[in-house]
Structures are given as C-alpha cells and as structure tokens.
Structure 1
Amino acid sequence: MTKTFIGPQLRQLRRERRQTQAEMAKALGVSAGYVNLLENNQRSLSVRLLMALADAYQVDWRDVVRDETSNHLSELRNVMRDPMFSGNVPDLQEMRAAIEHAPRLVEQFVTLYGIHRRTLERIMRQGRAGSSEALLASSAEAVIHDFFRDNSNYFDSLERAAEQVRREEACDTDDIYAVLKARLANAHGIAVRRRAAEDMTQALRLYDREARIVHLSEALDHCNQVFQLAHVVCLVEFQDLLNELTASSGITNKTSLARCQIELANYFAAAFLMPYEPFLQTAESTAYDIDRIVARFAVSFEQACHRLTTMQRPGAQGVPFFFLRVDKAGNVTKRFNSTSFHLAEYGGACPVWKIHMAFRTPGVILPQFVELPDGERFFTISRTADRPAINLETQDHRLSVALGCELKYAKRLRYAASFNIEDEALFSKIGINCHLCPRQACSQRAHQPVFMELPVDTARRGNTRYES
C-alpha cells in the first residue's frame, strides 16, 4: 500500500466536498502542502492516511485505491485513433496528464465520442434502409409510438371496457365529473380533492394509493379534471388489462412500460368520455367539424383531435388521421398515427408546415394541403392548444397540434370543402426536417441534408447559403 498513488481520486473527492486543500489537510491531520503532493502523485498513500481518509469522508477504502487509469488510458487512446482527430494528436504523456488532472472531463469526452459513433452508425443504417427508422430505434417514445401504430391506434379491449363503465354510469355529459367521483368513492374508497396550484407545483394530478386520495390541481380546467378521473378509473379497475396489453408490446424497459400504460389509460379515458359509436356518428354527420365535436362531448380541442385518430374499429372506420403536437421550439411532444404519413413519425420540424404558424394566430384553425418530396399528398389542419395557466408566467404556455389525412379523404372534411384540389399551386412543398429533406431551392432550408450534396456555384446566389 505504501506505493499506491491516488492523486485524481483524492482531488475529485475534495472537489465533490467543495473543500480547499487546506480544509482537507485539516480533516486528515496533515499539511496542505502534503495534500498537494498527494494530488499530483508526488507522494504515495500510506495505510494510516488511507484509514484517516475513510473515517473523515465516510468512503470505502477500496473505492479510494481502485486505479482505473489504465482503462481510461486505453479508452482514450482508442478514441484518439479515429481519423477525425488526424493532425496534432496528443501523445501518451499528455493523455496520462489529462486522466490524472481531469478524470471526469476525460470520462465525459469518451462518453460523448461513444454517442457520436452510435449516431453515425444509425445514420448509416438509415441510409442503407432508406428511412429514418433507425435513428429512433432506441427511443422510448418511438417504441411506444410503433406499438400504437402496429395496432392501428385502436385497442378494442379498452373500447369495450370503457363502454361497459359508461353503461354502468349512464348520465348526461355535464354530470360525468360527479359520477366518476362517486364511483371512485363508492366502489373503491378513493376520495377526490382539488388543491391549490401552489401546493402542487410539480404535478397536475397525484394519486396517493396509500391514503386513497386523488389530488387534482386547480390549474386543470373542467374537461381535464374529468379526463384525469377517467384515467384513474382505468388504473384502478383495469390494471390487469393494461398489463395484458403491454405484455404483448415487446417493451421490456421498466420506464417505457410505465409510459406505455399511461398512454393506454389515456386511451381508455378518451374512449369513456367520447364513446366510439356516438363519437363517430357525430364526426361523420358534422363533416369532422372539431368545434362541434368539442361542444357535443365537452372535451378539449386536443382531446377531440386525439380521439379522431382512434376511429379504426373493423367495419366502422372513420377517416384515418395522424396527430402531432409540437411546442414553440418545434419539439414533438406527442404523436399518433394510423396513416403512412412519415412526417408524424420522424419529424415535424419543417417551417413550411403551418403547425408552426399556428402560434401566430392562437385558437384559429389553419387548413393546408401539403406534398412530401416523394410526392405523397395530405390535407392537414393546425391549431394551438392551451396549457393550464394559473399566473403571469404560465399564461402563454401554448402548444400547437396538427391533424392530417391522406388527400383522398379530404373531401369528407368540411375544412377542405372550399378548396379546388385540382389546383397544383394549392400544395405546400414540405419535408420531414432539413437534415432528411432532399428538396432543393427551398428558401426555408436551415441545414445541409445528410445524404446529398447540394450544388454550389460561385457565380450565383441561391435561395439559401447551402446551395447556389
């Protein structure tokens, strides 16, 4: 043990405790200068000092003396052999110095390089496969999305369960909240309490299983309060059904399984509030007028749009829609798809699509005919969806949602009735996102595409700086 050097470990331990060398020296009963020598591997660790270190900092001495320098050096040398680092590559001595003096930085650098390599491999697989699917292969959201898509976004067992509960609790639409509250209390001994938003800063709904209380934030409007109670009813009464459905999903990650069950419970809640047959009848009779649907079932615009994507019961199908929700930065926060529309699966970041323009006109439905680079054509509508607002800081936390279908179904929607779909100028040329879009001469291009070189001519200036 007298020849054990622990400079990097000692320095890291001191920094984690936010101590100076003098403060550590006092804790160990040595001089500050001696701590400095230890950290720079100019003195080896004695047994006495090792015991003092373990006692003073409550650490396992095995962790202190574990030397992973050789492993880190090997990993770093492998990383630096990548051709991307050709040129002035650090020598062995520099790499050893980096590991000794900045081990966490080296660790993070190696981790970042690993992410870089995996991303490149996915892009290469994507290029060979001709699709973007490989890029999303490890995403929990993608796995759940694929599970719903593989089931055509329709789960008959949940539909039947919701219909059964609705028959047992037959009531008018404006009485559903009271009925659900009573069912939870009478059948399960679960109370429902509305709480001040200040008391629930991190959640909108909290089900305390031990106390058997559902806490609802006052930040939720009425239709979302009802939705949350229906969600809890599913968790309480149909957990076995959720387990059965997720068992066939192929999802094994614990967090992903929980996320999937949450989405399935949301599906049940929507099916309960908007029963299949009455909902489809209303949609068809109003030419899919979403505002009329919202008024009929007392739900939110987003809830109605989401429910429209589930009208895929064999023998009683509605228009097959895709649904996408984005925030103001363009991040996709929810997506469901029963169509071949790849934009809903892999993107949503095209600035030509009006889902982003909807933020300029809150609450206004924006219809749009779009065409993808491969020639596929769709009809979409976009509109903002408000988030709970309880103070000045949350009053503009809007999202934007889009609902779309293949062009051949557009004639069944009132939003498309006034357009001449034979007019070629009607279609907006959009893409999945700039990285994956091969479209040339697009004035909205923000990135060079991954799989092609755009033409560059010094004699002319194109629509963007990426081509000329």
Structure 2
Amino acid sequence: MRKTLIGPQLRQLRRRNGHTQAEMARRLGISPAYVNLLENNQRSLSVPVLVALSEHYGIDMRSLVQDGETHKLADLRAAVRDPIFPGDPPDLAELRAALDHAPGLVELFVHLYQSHRSMVEQLKRVPGTGSTESLLRVSPETAIHDFFRDHGNYFETLETAAAVLRSRVGGSSDDMYTLLKRQLRIEHSIDTRVRRMSDMPEALRTFDAKTGRVDLSEALDHPNRIFQLAHVLGLLEAGNQLDALVEESGIDTEAGRARVRVELTNYFAAAFLMPYDETLNLARETGYDIDRMAAAFGVSFEQVCHRLTTLQRDGARGIPFFFLRVDRAGNVTKRFNATAFTLAEQGGACPVWDIHGAFRMPGVIVPQFVELPEGGRFFTLSRTTDRPVFSHRTQDRRLVVAIGCELSHVEGVAYAKSFNLSDDSLYAPIGLNCHVCPRQACSQRAHQPLHVNLPIDAFRRGRTRYES
C-alpha cells in the first residue's frame, strides 16, 4: 500500500464524534501518541488502523484514502492568485499547511470564492455594469461606512474635543440655541441668521467663513437648527482632529473626503449635544427610552438613535446598536454600525423585516424580533422621521429610522420587556435581500437567488413563482 496521510480527515472524524485522542486511540487499539502523529501527518496510515477506523466509526475506507488533495490544492492556488487579492499570494508551503490544519476553512473559502466569481460573471452580462474592475470598486459610501466600522463607530479624539468645548460653552440643553449662536459670534465672529425658504430654495444651511455668516432655513425645526450650528462649530473648533481622521480614512477622491468630513463633523455635533457619560447614564436609567432621551437633550429621535451607536468607549460601553435609515422605495440613505453583524452591513431590503410597516403608523415605534438564515437573532425598533417641509409639494416626505441589537443585549432595552423571548414564533425569519437569501418557501420572495437553485416542478405551484 502506498504511503497515505490523512491527518486533517482523521481530526475532523474524531471531533465530529466528540472523542478525545485518548478515546480514539482506545477504540483503534493504538496509543494516543500515535493518534497525534497521524493527525499531524507525521505517520502514514497502516492497513490495520484503516480497518479499525472502518469497523469502529462506520466509514467507507475509500473515503479516507482518496487522493483529493491535489485537486483541492489547485483550486486554492487558483483562488489566491486572483487579482482581487492584493500583494503576493501565499506560497505552496502555506497553502499545504492550510489544507493540512484547516481543511474545513479552506473548503469554505474556495466555495465563497467560486460564488463570488459566479456572481461577477452574471453581473457582467447585465448591460451597463461595466468591467470587473468597476464592479469591484468600493464606493465612497462603502469606504466611509467601513472606516467608521473599523473604529467601532467611536472616535476618542472627537469625543474629547466635544467634551472640552461643551465645558467651555456651559449652560443647559434648554438654552443651547442661544449658547451656540453666542459662541460663534464671540469666539469666531460668525453671525447666525434664519432665512426665508424662498431665499434658500436649495439648501437648509450655508456657512461662509469669509463673510462670517451662517444662514439657516426656516424649514428646519428647532432641534435641527441647533444641530446645524453644532456642526458649524465643529468645523471651526475640531479642524485638526477632523483633518487627521480624514487622512487616516485613506479615501482619495475629493467627493469622498468631503463626505467623510461631513459625517465626522456630524459625529462631533452629536457628541457635543449629548455628552458621552450623561448619555450613557440616561440610556441605562431609562432602558434606552429614545423619546425620553430626546426630550432630555433637546434633540430629535433620529439624532438619539445615531448617538446610541457611538457609545463604544472601552470600559464604558453601551449596548452595541446598528442604525439604518430608509426611504419609501427601500433605499438605505444612512447606515452606521457599532457591531460586526451582517444585518447592519447589508440589510434593509427584506420585506419580512417590517421596517416599512412604520410608514403606516407615523411617529409610532415598531418593535420586531428577527432571525437571519444562519440563526442570528436581533431586536429592532423602527419609527418614521420627518424631513423639512418647504411647501405643499414636499409634505409627507418621511423616512424610517431603524436601530437594532443582538438578542443577548435585549434585557437592557425597555421596549422588549413585554415579550416572551423563549417563544420561537416571536422571531420573523428574514434575509438580507432576495438575491442572496437561501430561505425556501418564503411567501415574500421577489427574486431567484444568485447562489441557490430553488426546486421547480411544472406540476406543482409553490408559494411564489420561483419554487414549487
């Protein structure tokens, strides 16, 4: 018999049966040390051990000695040489080590790569999608989202600068509009004016540093007038910190750098209006009651939701929330994430996740428990938020804000207190979107998934036209 090494297969077999090396050794009539040598490919498989494996574990001997390693190595080598991976590819020794010590992970990686290639090829057949390079190019929105996510949606330098400025400004939240105008006028020689909508038909706020003037549209409500002034003050007071973070982001387009500066300055404004320690303490005291927090700080519902995602300081962390804002057509217009959850990265397009149900009940918070295909469970809250109204033509321009956290954090959220968390029927089975959702027999399916072949039978009609 030729020399046969089966280390990874043997290790997987043992772990699948829940056995230690000592238990496997006892069953096979060999020493634990010999099992260890076999698993590390330091000994080849003998015929007696092969027979013992067949007898005690009920496996086909041929499944252990088939030489599929060459084929797997070729697939892995081809995958890592794809131009989508920057830098030099791993050498053969590294690839063989991966196959030896993590065969399951290698199999998943190759499967993921093959699915990626398949979807890219399908997208390239769609008119107007352009080249592979253009398909894989990261948009400024994605780059900004990834930059915030990589920081855990928390920026210590901005928090510190906001806290120092808040201490200097003083006063209470009730007087914040007057305090901000005073700070801009006295320390920066900036005057603030509220202008008629007819004078500012295309903007809600303009700031001209040369003329020393901030103009606010009368379409802004009081909390948003305050937020816009805090934003302008952030541009003036935290310029060095903003410059450093924009450079750190690595975004190289002019539009992208401008966008990330806007988002970072919004972060500063929220940190100024809702100081970290006060916000975290109030959140815990009220069970993350968003309306009570909005009233306490004189801010909007949406601004509180956004601020909750940023309470991620080491040693004083709040519940890690993700944040989405969607319009009536399902477009995600804002997304922030203090978690590592896929739902936050790509969600918002599943009709079973009843974000859009909030449009039917303006101003009412809609709670929902959801479950992803891989089993992850979340608690989400959705509510409408109103846009500024310029005229009768711009009425009812609402968006929906949604925040959510993993089920393990839900005990600290007052909105979830009345639900029986052990009731499996409580959790709505959702996906990210129909194109990548593997769920079968979903009555809301709108597309054939790109990576799953759903069963079709001409003699049977299923819940949708995509499967029988």
Normalised to the residue count of structure 1, the TM-score between the two structures is 0.72
The amino acid across from 1:218 in the alignment is E
Q: Deviations over 1:237-280 (max 9, x none)?
A: 22121010111112111111110010000000000000000010
Query: What is residue 359 of structure 1 aligned with on the other side?
Result: 359
Query: What are the superposed Cα offsets for residues 122-166 of structure 1, whole Å, 9 maximum, x if unpaired?
Result: 5xxxxxxxxxxx6xx521111000000000000011011111011
In structure 2, the residue matched to 1:8 is none
1:438 aligns with 2:452: no
Q: Distance in 2 between matches of 1:341 and 1:389?
A: 35
1:382 aligns with 2:396: no
**5+ unaligned residues in a row in structure 1: which ranges?**
1-109, 123-133
1:212 aligns with 2:212: yes
- Residue 343 of structure 1: how far off its partner (Å): 2.2
Equivalents in 1 of 2:213, 2:350: separation in Å? Answer: 44
In 1: Cα distance, 2:142 partner to 2:314 partner = 25
Query: 2:129 maps to what in 1?
Result: 115
The residue type paired with residue 200 of structure 1 is: M
| Residue equivalent to 1:60 | none
- What secondary structure sits across from 1:354 in the alignment? coil
Structure-to-structure mapping, 1:1-400, within 5 angstroms = 115-118=129-132, 137-400=137-400
CA distance in 1, matches of 2:128, 2:228: 41
Q: Which amino acid aligns with 2:405?
A: C
Distance in 2 between residues matched to 1:155 and 1:388, nearest whole Å: 29
In 2, distance between residues paired with 1:302 and 1:383? 9
Amino acid corresponding to residue 450 of structure 1 in structure 2: L
User: Secondary structure at the residue paired with 1:399?
Assistant: strand
- 2:260 counterpart SS class: helix
Give the Å deviation of 1:184.
Answer: 0.7
User: What is the alpha-carbon distance in structure 2 between the residues aligned to residue 181 and residue 111 of structure 1?
Assistant: 56
Aligned length: 345
State the identity as a percent.
Answer: 58
1-structure distance, mates of 2:166, 2:132: 48
Report the AA paired with residue 431 of structure 1. G
- C-alpha separation in 2, matches of 1:196 and 1:147: 37
Partner of 1:447: 447
Alignment of 1:388-427 (within 5 A): 388-427=388-427
- Quick one: distance in 2 between partners of 1:364 and 1:373? 28
CA distance in 2, matches of 1:174, 1:294: 12
Look up the SS of the partner of 1:369 in the other structure: strand
Q: How many angstroms apart in 1 are the aligned matches of 2:464 and 2:446?
A: 8
Partner SS, residue 344 of structure 1: helix
Q: Where does residue 48 of structure 1 map in the other structure? A: none
Alignment correspondent of 2:36 = none
Shift of 1:112: 8.3
Separation in 2 of the partners of 1:447 and 1:139? 25
Give distance in 2, aligned partners of 1:324 and 1:113. Answer: 30
- Secondary structure of 1:264 counterpart: helix
Other-structure match for 1:21? none
Measured in 2, the distance between the counterparts of 1:270 and 1:114 equals 40
**Cα gap change, 1:117/1:453 in structure 2, threshold over 3 Å: closer, same or farther?**
farther
Query: 1:342 corresponds to which letter in structure 2?
Result: T
Q: How far 1:210 moved relative to its partner?
A: 2.0
CA distance in 2, matches of 1:260, 1:185: 27
The CA distance in 1 between the partners of 2:382 and 2:230, in whole Å, is 27
**1:244 counterpart SS class:** helix
The amino acid of 1:142's aligned partner reads T
CA distance in 1, matches of 2:310, 2:210: 34
Aligned structure 1 segments of 4 or more residues deviating by more than 2 angstroms: 110-119
Q: Which residue of 2 aligns with 1:429?
A: 429
For residues 66-119 of structure 1, the C-alpha deviation after alignment (integer angstroms, 9 at most, x for no partner) is xxxxxxxxxxxxxxxxxxxxxxxxxxxxxxxxxxxxxxxxxxxx9985624438
Letter in 1 for 2:142: A
Ranges in structure 2 where 5+ consecutive residues have no aligned partner:
1-123
Structure 1 residues 115 and 378: alpha-carbon distance in aligned structure 2, compared to 1, 3 A threshold: same
Distance 1:341 1:298 in 2: 31
What CA distance in whole angstroms lies between the structure 1 residues aligned with 2:226 and 2:280?
A: 21
Q: Which moved more, 1:385-394 or 1:295-304?
A: 385-394
The residue number in structure 1 matching 2:462 is: 462
Say which SS state the counterpart of residue 230 (structure 2) adopts.
Answer: helix
Q: Structure 2: how far apart are the matches of 1:318 and 1:347?
A: 22
Distance 1:280 1:373 in 2: 32
